[in-house]
Chains A and B, each alone.
Chain A
């Protein structure tokens, strides 16, 4: 059991990294990766929402969607949107410092495709409660890892002499390509699962 959980964890964190091999959550990956600190905070917020989504998905799958499977997509997206809103209110009330630190990124997480993808993958792979939680934590950390790496590289790139045409989006994509190439090196782990 613990071996399987470990495999899920490292697979989601490194081998099938959400951003670099599934292309999920690219909007913040390119939009918010300018500064290292904001990238880190966004990663934390994302992980947090992923964990809650995983729990909500599990509950929906177990208690609600058995009766109406064709409503899956609508149910997930509504639950995710309202959970994010709810989490936002709770944090604002109880931890105002954290709320200020996360700022606009908290509501924006709703439209991050990584969140919905987590719900879909969790369902299609038939993960239970515990497996889903491990998957969510690993995916969140994976997103954070990619964001932080990208932000670090971009902060450096700002200080160096880059050809004018390359500045901006084009270079971000090329950097992401090289990062993704590097992450392919993890594919041999766990027999390439």
Chain B
């Protein structure tokens, strides 16, 4: 459908770095903050979201010529809600403890803007294989972001990583990090770091450009 030719690999990798849904697009911010007080929760949430993202992209891409334009959003929402229900029940059976801890947030994957956003912006216009690549990339990027935030918060707030103690018994946990304010603060600081990184990079690029033109 699109004029330019798209290939599998760039579509896969763009979601991980260049268009990372959490850090670059700042989409679907509720789960990255709400459940990242431990690394494990981040991983489970990331996998669940990736599953829903891939399956609904597959479905929507396969049906893209059959879905009438006027009712497309509601169709997408029903498709997404179906897969979220599947993920919800699967988690409940496999990891009851983690599911209990996150309870409502697994169901809330339905309203995660990343999924509807990818369905509308990508899967509805591209063939199946590319849509899956896009979905996997976005899912992995999202999972990485969750794990990153979760790592900072768990190590600082609990002194553990994936449940194993890191600092030894004399460490006084920084409890506020696993409480809600910690989520906002950690993400704020991470975004600040990324902004600095982008600035340094663009300056270096500008300097390289100047020298090249001389």
Chain A interface residues (CB < 8 Å from chain B): 20-27, 30, 70, 73-74, 77-78, 81-82, 111-113, 115-117, 120-121, 124, 165-166, 168-174, 176-178, 180-181, 184
Contact = CB atoms under 8 A, between A and B. Distances in A.
Q: Is the interface of B mostly helix, strand, loop or mixed?
A: helix
Contacts of B77: 77-78, 81
Contacts of B213: none
Contacts, number: 109
A122 to B, nearest CB: 11
B188 A171 contact: yes
Contact of A180 (B74, B78, B103, B184): B184
Interface residues of B, number: 40
Interface stretch (B9-17, B42-50, B162-170, B173-181): B173-181
Given A26-B29, A73-B88, A173-B187, A165 B199 contact: yes
B107 A173 contact: no
User: Which 7 A-B pairs give the minimum distances between C-beta atoms?
Assistant: A173-B188, A177-B184, A177-B185, A174-B188, A180-B181, A23-B34, A170-B191
Contact of A170 (B78, B181, B192): B192
A116 B110 contact: yes
Q: Is the interface of A mostly helix, strand, loop or mixed?
A: helix
A126 to B, nearest CB: 14
A172 B196 CA distance: 16
Interface in B80-112: 81-82, 84-85, 88-89, 103-104, 107-108, 110-112
B63 interface: no
Nearest to A24: B30
Contacts of A78: 74, 77-78, 81
Nearest to B29: A26
B31 to A, nearest CB: 8
A180 B81 contact: no
Nearest to B77: A77
B181 A178 contact: yes
Contacts of B29: 23, 26-27, 30
B184 A113 contact: no
A117 B108 contact: yes
18 contacts: A21-B180, A23-B33, A74-B85, A78-B78, A117-B104, A117-B108, A120-B107, A165-B192, A170-B189, A174-B185, A174-B189, A174-B192, A177-B183, A177-B184, A178-B181, A180-B180, A180-B181, A184-B181
A20 B183 CA distance: 10
A22 B111 contact: no
Contacts of A184: 179-181
Interface string B182-212: 1111011101100110010000000000000
A121 B111 CA distance: 15
B188 A73 contact: no
A125 B33 CA distance: 23
B132 interface: no
B26 A30 contact: yes
Most buried by A among B26, B85, B88: B26
Contacts of B184: 173-174, 176-177, 180
A181 B30 CA distance: 17
A112 B195 CA distance: 27
